[in-house]
């Protein structure tokens, strides 16, 4: 699937009657890279889950290209090209790496596994290992690889670097950057590592209490450490 535009118009969503995402609007162009930043608990995970149709919808619209996905369920959104890698690294821990990947094939032939083994040589080496035997980085790679097997046109990544050693973060960012550079995927990245997130993306959106309080080009924030400190409460070098 070629990269697709993601458009969000006035989205409000949450858990039952509790509204967490409050009237958010943004657009990511085909092949674009958006980083979503914000302090803890401001609603970044809820935003991605809402794009995937996993929360209670309170209002607004979500478009993938021209298709209005607002009233569709998560499985339909996945079929239409939305790929979601949750913060919880959804893998089956009692299955092997290969069995996990086969579960992600969704009708594609087994030869598709080779595509991800080329991208993630570490998973190829560990193909007979169980989920429980994998390191955090390997679990993250497996979760990402399984989603990629569905050939998403828009990829939603929730804190893929959380808890990983810097060298593994480098590897994951290299893979994500290569995916973005291929032009085949539009990527929305939620990340706490601000410098890496700003280096990766072209645009950035800062969230506070479920609202987008700042959005613009990454270069703008990279050159404005005082503004980063004001928005996010931390320094950037």
Ligand X SMILES: Nc1ncnc2c1ncn2[C@@H]1O[C@H](COP(=O)(O)OP(=O)(O)OP(=O)(O)O)[C@@H](O)[C@H]1O
Query: Footprint of ligand X on residues 4-43 (CB under 6 A)?
Result: 15, 20, 38, 40-43
- Helix (H) or strand (E) run with residue 217 in it: strand 211-217
- 211: how many CB neighbours lie within 10 A of its CB? 14
Complete DSSP assignment for 130-159: BGGGS-HHHHHHHHHHHHHTT--SEEEEE-
The kind and range of the H/E element at 77 are helix 74-80
Q: Exposed, middle or buried: residue 183 (CB in 10 Å: 0-12, 13-18, 19+)?
A: exposed
> Residues touching ligand X: how many (CB under 6 A)?
10
21 vs 113, beta carbon nearer ligand X: 21
Q: Using an 8 Å Cβ cutoff, are 189 and 157 in contact?
A: yes
Which tokens sit at 23?
């009237």
45 near ligand X, rule: CB under 6 A: yes
Least distance from ligand X to the Cβ atom of residue 191, Å? 9
Q: Candidates 24, 33, 44, 101: give the one binding ligand X (CB under 6 A).
A: 44
User: CB of residue 221 vs ligand X: minimum separation in angstroms?
Assistant: 18
163 to 192: interface string for ligand X, x by CB under 6 A: ------------------------------
How far is it, in rounded angstroms, from Cα 226 to Cα 234?
Answer: 9
Q: Token pair for residue 13?
A: 């969503």
Which residue in 48, 46, 44, 38 sits closest to 83, CA to CA?
48
Tell me the β-bridge partners of 14: 19, 56
At closest approach, how far in Å is the CB of 44 from ligand X? 4
Q: In this complex, which beta carbon is closest to ligand X, that of residue 40 or of residue 109?
A: 40
> Could you say which residues in the range 201-220 bind ligand X, by CB under 6 A?
none
Residue 229 CB, nearest approach to ligand X (Å): 18
Comparison of 38 and 131: residue with beta carbon closer to ligand X = 38
Least distance to ligand X, CB of residue 69, Å: 20
Q: Which is nearer to ligand X, 43 or 152 (CB)?
A: 43
Residues near ligand X, by CB under 6 A: 15, 20, 38, 40-46
């Amino acid at each position: 699937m070629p990269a697709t535009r993601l458009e969000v118009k006035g989205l409000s969503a949450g858990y039952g009657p509790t509204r967490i995402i409050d009237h958010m609007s943004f657009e990511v162009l085909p092949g674009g890279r958006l980083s979503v930043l914000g302090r803890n608990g401001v609603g970044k995970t809820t935003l991605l889950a809402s794009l995937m149709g996993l929360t209670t919808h309170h209002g607004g619209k979500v478009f993938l290209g021209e298709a209005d996905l607002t009233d569709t369920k998560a499985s339909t959104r996945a079929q239409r090209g939305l790929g979601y890698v949750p913060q919880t690294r959804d893998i089956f821990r009692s299955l092997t790496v290969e069995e996990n990947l086969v579960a992600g094939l969704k009708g594609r032939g087994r030869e598709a596994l080779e595509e991800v083994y080329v991208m993630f040589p570490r998973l190829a080496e560990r193909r007979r290992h169980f989920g429980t035997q994998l390191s955090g980085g390997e679990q993250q790679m497996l979760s990402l690889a399984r989603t990629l097997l569905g050939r998403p046109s828009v990829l939603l990544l929730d804190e893929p670097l959380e808890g990983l050693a810097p060298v593994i973060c480098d590897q994951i960012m290299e893979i994500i950057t290569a995916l973005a550079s291929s032009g085949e995927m539009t990527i929305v990245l939620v990340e706490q590592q601000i410098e890496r997130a700003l280096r990766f993306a072209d645009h950035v959106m800062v969230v506070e209490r479920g609202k987008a309080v700042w959005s613009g080009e990454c270069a703008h924030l990279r050159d404005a450490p005082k503004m980063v400190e004001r928005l996010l409460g931390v320094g950037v070098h």
